[in-house]
């Protein structure tokens, strides 16, 4: 009996996908729950697993093909499964050791039943590392687990490239070129950035923040905070708390436009932009106003790890009322962030640099950060945007007041 392998439903905001890589070839034996194919969407990577045991009979859409929800990716011949060929109690008993042994060394390995992230599978293929030999530090094998198992790369023997990534152009000449197809996520990012610039009246206002008080507070409590909560006290929690306090004072920055109406949100789901291999992603802290400093730092750390391992879920990325992005981690001194629609505000953070400033009539060096607020001028006035950013500055420069605002 032929069983269709379908492109699954992945949330109402995801309507199509791209076949990143088939993990099996036509004719391979597959078992229930075994990953068959990786799909790219504009938000997350998804593994499609076998719903039945059998043989992969056909592949309808190969690597790189664009598909829609409900499309048939291929078929499984259930009649060709090892279980279907077992006849009678005696043969069933005789077949059990062979099936068990096959589970140890074949497709349905203990690693696959435990699970490995898509990025871990790609890393293992590129480094020629058997997943069964990788020790996982968590419930699933991650890319970092594979890297630790493989050790450092030999510079003279680079790993193989995946079919969806940049292709080796051979020996490039002085004027060589290569073409690399954009990933689904990168293509969507490109389209959305153009769309938002065409539809929103974006303006950006700037300010600078003296980070002395926050850095002193972090230095004083750094070790105790980590010992107690198992995570470092970073900058994220200070700015998220400050932004929420400022959003309460200037609620139009926590809104969206729906036709000729403003939808003012009375909850605070803060998106935190995180860099990933295929482009920036923005996982969301739900009800961030109710989260403590440790809870925020733990969540941001987990988002960064999930982004690196390609394990962010659609729920992690859905929604959001306001976004914070930190170009400073890459060394950016100043930038103009672009709105994350349908949101009407985004706060950009930047690198901290010692700069001379005037304090009480004297020029002193202080650790300073430029901040930027991009806003949709259709519903946010310039004075609101400027005062919002000033309020964020005031709160971060006097972090003790964040306890009163929380």
From the list 168, 287, 315, 381, the catalytic residue is: 381
Structure tokens at 119: 């990025």
From the list 66, 128, 221, 377, the catalytic residue is: 377
Q: Which residues pair with 67 in a beta bridge?
A: 17
Structure tokens at 146: 């594979």
Say how far apart CA 318 and CA 71 lie, in whole Å: 24
Say how far apart CA 297 and CA 236 lie, in whole Å: 7
Q: Is the dihedral of CA 122, 66, 115, 57 positive or negative?
A: negative
Task: Kindly state the DSSP code that residue 321 receives in the 8-state scheme.
Answer: S
Q: Which of 312, 61, 18 is nearest to 183 (CA)?
A: 18
Say how far apart CA 245 and CA 198 lie, in whole Å: 30
- The Cβ of residue 177 has, within 10 Å, a number of other Cβ atoms equal to 7
Say how far apart CA 120 and CA 9 lie, in whole Å: 24
Edge-first strand order for the sheet with 54-59 is 2-6, 72-77, 54-59, 29-30
Edge-first strand order for the sheet with 66-68 is 45-49, 35-40, 16-22, 66-68
Say how far apart CA 377 and CA 79 lie, in whole Å: 62
Say how far apart CA 107 and CA 102 lie, in whole Å: 8
Structure tokens at 15: 């309507």
Say how far apart CA 146 and CA 308 lie, in whole Å: 13
Q: Catalytic site residue 266?
A: no
Q: Catalytic site residue 381?
A: yes
Say how far apart CA 304 and CA 296 lie, in whole Å: 12
Radius of gyration of the chain (CA): 26
Contact criterion met (CB below 8 Å) for 272 and 283: yes
Whose structure tokens read 């719903």?
51
Q: Which residues pair with 284 in a beta bridge?
A: 271
Structure tokens at 334: 């100043």
Contact criterion met (CB below 8 Å) for 371 and 393: yes
Active site residues: 377, 381
């Amino acid at each position: 009996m032929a069983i269709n392998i379908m492109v699954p439903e992945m949330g109402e905001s995801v309507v199509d996908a791209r076949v990143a890589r088939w993990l099996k070839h036509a004719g391979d034996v597959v078992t229930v729950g075994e990953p068959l194919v990786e799909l790219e969407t504009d938000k997350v990577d998804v593994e499609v697993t076998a719903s039945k045991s059998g043989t992969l009979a056909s592949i309808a859409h190969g690597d790189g093909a664009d598909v829609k929800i409900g499309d048939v990716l291929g078929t499984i011949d259930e009649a060709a499964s090892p279980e279907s060929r077992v006849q009678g109690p005696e043969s069933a008993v005789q077949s059990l050791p062979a099936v068990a042994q096959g589970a140890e060394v074949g497709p349905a390995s203990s690693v696959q039943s435990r699970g490995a992230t898509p990025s871990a599978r790609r890393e293992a293929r590129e480094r020629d590392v058997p997943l069964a030999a990788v020790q996982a530090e968590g419930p699933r094998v991650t890319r970092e687990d594979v890297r630790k198992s493989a050790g450092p790369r030999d510079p003279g023997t680079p790993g193989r490239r995946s079919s969806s990534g940049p292709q080796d152009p051979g020996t490039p000449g002085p004027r060589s070129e290569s073409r690399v197809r954009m990933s689904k996520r990168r293509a969507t990012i490109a389209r959305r950035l153009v769309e938002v610039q065409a539809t929103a009246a974006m303006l950006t206002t700037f300010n600078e923040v003296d980070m002395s008080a926050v850095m002193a507070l972090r230095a004083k409590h750094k070790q105790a905070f980590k010992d107690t909560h198992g995570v470092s006290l970073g900058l994220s929690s200070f700015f998220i708390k400050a932004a929420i306090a400022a959003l309460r004072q200037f609620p139009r920055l926590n809104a969206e436009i729906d036709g000729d109406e403003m939808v003012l949100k009375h909850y605070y789901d803060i998106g935190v932009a995180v860099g990933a291999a295929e482009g920036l992603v923005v996982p969301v802290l739900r009800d961030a106003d109710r989260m403590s400093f440790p809870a925020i730092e733990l969540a941001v750390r987990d988002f960064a790890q999930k982004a690196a391992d390609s394990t962010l879920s659609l729920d992690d990325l859905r929604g959001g009322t306001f976004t914070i992005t930190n170009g400073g981690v890459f060394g950016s001194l100043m930038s103009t962030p672009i709105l994350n629609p349908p949101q009407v505000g985004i706060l950009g953070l930047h690198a901290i640099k010692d700069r001379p400033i005037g304090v009480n009539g004297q020029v002193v060096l202080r650790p300073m950060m430029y901040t930027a607020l991009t806003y949709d001028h259709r519903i946010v006035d310039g004075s609101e945007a400027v005062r919002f950013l000033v309020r964020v500055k005031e709160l971060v420069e006097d972090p003790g007041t964040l306890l009163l605002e929380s």
